[in-house]
Amino acid sequence: MVDEGKGAIVFISSLFGYHGVPIVANYSASKAYILALGEALHVELDPMGIDVLVVSPGLTDTAMPAAMPFNFSKMPITKHKPAKVAKAALSALGKKASKVPGLLNWIYAFENRFIPRLWPTRLFGFLLKRAMTQEDRARLLNIPLKRISK
Ligand SMILES: NC(=O)c1ccc[n+]([C@@H]2O[C@H](COP(=O)([O-])OP(=O)(O)OC[C@H]3O[C@@H](n4cnc5c(N)ncnc54)[C@H](OP(=O)(O)O)[C@@H]3O)[C@@H](O)[C@H]2O)c1
């Protein structure tokens, strides 16, 4: 890409990459890594004609959330079609470093610029906990059921 002076890279992060999220702590941390990596590469590679974009979707109607032990209908979030996410990504490519598709997702992603960083972490921890059974939480966290907080 550098030799040709053109190219494009799209990284897929997540809304959960914008703040720590309990219960899926490792996933959210890995998505924060991708976000930081992509933003840095955006600036680094821009002078070489290479477009780098990080897309951070919220809940999207794919096989991934369907396989997770969360009842997402209990959460105040909207589910997007993959096509909508892809369209938003392609229209941002070459113009921005990062894109969070959907207004509500955008608010969730950027709220910690205006409020203490830990508030969205607590909020999503509460929401995820409420959206799953105690048994699933014990299984996911690999903690005995009797040690799981209500
Ligand atoms: N869906 C959501 O709500 C949501 C929200 C935020 C972010 N994301 C992110 O979006 C990305 C795509 O997820 P998705 O929702 O589209 O899930 P998905 O429908 O389960 O698709 C995952 C894709 O990754 C491929 N894959 C898995 N392991 C791989 C490997 N080791 N090497 C190469 N390809 C591999 C799978 O290929 P095969 O089909 O061949 O197995 C599949 O095409 C993920 O990074 C996820 O974290 C998803």
Structural domains in the chain, CATH included, are 7-147 (3.40.50.720)
Q: Go through the chain and tell me how many residues it has.
A: 150
Alpha-carbon 81 to chain mean position: 15
User: Nearest C-alpha to atom 12 of ligand 1 is from which residue?
Assistant: 12
- Rounded CA separation 144/8 (Å): 46
pTM here is: 0.93
- Indicate whether residue 85 lines ligand 1 (CB < 6 A): no
Mutate which of 10, 62, 105 for ligand 1? The one with the most ligand atoms within 8 Å of its CB, which is 62
- Indicate whether residue 63 lines ligand 1 (CB < 6 A): yes
State mean pLDDT over 65-88. 96
Q: What is the pLDDT of residues 1-41, one digit of tens each?
A: 999 999 999 999 999 999 999 999 999 999 999 999 999 99
- Rounded CA separation 18/34 (Å): 11
**How far apart are the CA of 64 and the centre of ligand 1, in A?**
7
Which of 123, 12, 104 is CA-nearest to residue 57?
A: 12
Long-range contact set of residues 40-47: C-beta below 8 Å, sequence gap at least 24:
41/9, 42/97, 42/98, 43/97, 45/1, 45/2, 45/9
Q: What is the pLDDT of residues 98-125, one digit of tens each?
A: 999 999 999 999 998 999 999 999 999 9
- Indicate whether residue 65 lines ligand 1 (CB < 6 A): yes
CB contact set of 57 (below 8 Å; sequence gap of 6+): 12, 14, 15, 80, 85, 100, 101, 102, 105
How much of the chain exceeds pLDDT 90, in percent? 97
- Indicate whether residue 12 lines ligand 1 (CB < 6 A): yes
